[in-house]
Amino acid sequence: MSEDLFSIPLTTITGQAKTLADFPAKAILVVNTASECGFTPQYKGLEQLWQTYRDSGLMVLGFPCNQFGHQEKGNNQEIAAFCELNFGVTFPLFAKIEVNGANTHPLYLYLKSRAPGLLGNQAIKWNFTKFLITEQGQKIERFAPVTKPEALTEKIVQGLNLSRLG
């Protein structure tokens, strides 16, 4: 297990101190989110992945961010309520963070350095960029905001070492 990754301090949307080690999983999907984005309906797909695969070892983690078009203006309590009321989100959400710039959260520094974007650029381009962490942190894959959650099913199944059903 990559100790640096799993010991990075995180704060849940309700203010609890955690690390990735507190979320035992075979595969972890990390997503920077926003409530007023064209990709916001992806919350529904993320919740569906969580409901379908959590008992098999998938963890979905949402990290609200207001850096792209100021599309996450609410406070943590408002964000949590929005996600639950509009999309039935039950997967863990975290306190609002920054994913680019001088105040980039350490989790995103780590993920971006291990899985840079197009042409090696590390910057997150927009809300709903996704990172899939598998193999105890040894494998990290990055997916663009336009990649719908359901398009990650095969990668998740592989990361969970499951046989695809149906």
Mean pLDDT by 10 residues, the chain (166 residues): 81 97 94 92 96 96 95 92 93 97 96 86 93 92 96 94 58
Name 21's Cβ contacts closer than 8 Å, sequence gap at least 6: 6, 7
| pLDDT value of residue 166 | 39
Rounded-to-integer distance, Cα 137 and Cα 118, Å = 21
| pLDDT value of residue 1 | 45
Domain boundaries, the chain: 3-159
Superfamily of domain 3-159: Glutaredoxin (3.40.30.10)
> Which CA distances in Å does 107 have to 10, 32, 88, 102, 104?
8, 11, 26, 14, 8
Are 55 and 94 a contacting pair, CB within 8 Å? no
Are 142 and 7 a contacting pair, CB within 8 Å? no
Which of 13, 34, 37, 49 does the annotation list as catalytic? 37
| pLDDT value of residue 2 | 53
Rounded-to-integer distance, Cα 127 and Cα 37, Å = 7
Q: Return the structure tokens found at 33.
A: 């989110």
Q: Active site includes 37?
A: yes
| pLDDT value of residue 150 | 96
Are 136 and 161 a contacting pair, CB within 8 Å? no
Q: Which of 89, 95, 96 is nearest to 50 (CA)?
A: 89
| pLDDT value of residue 64 | 97
Rounded-to-integer distance, Cα 75 and Cα 81, Å = 10
Q: Return the structure tokens found at 34.
A: 């926003």
| pLDDT value of residue 62 | 98
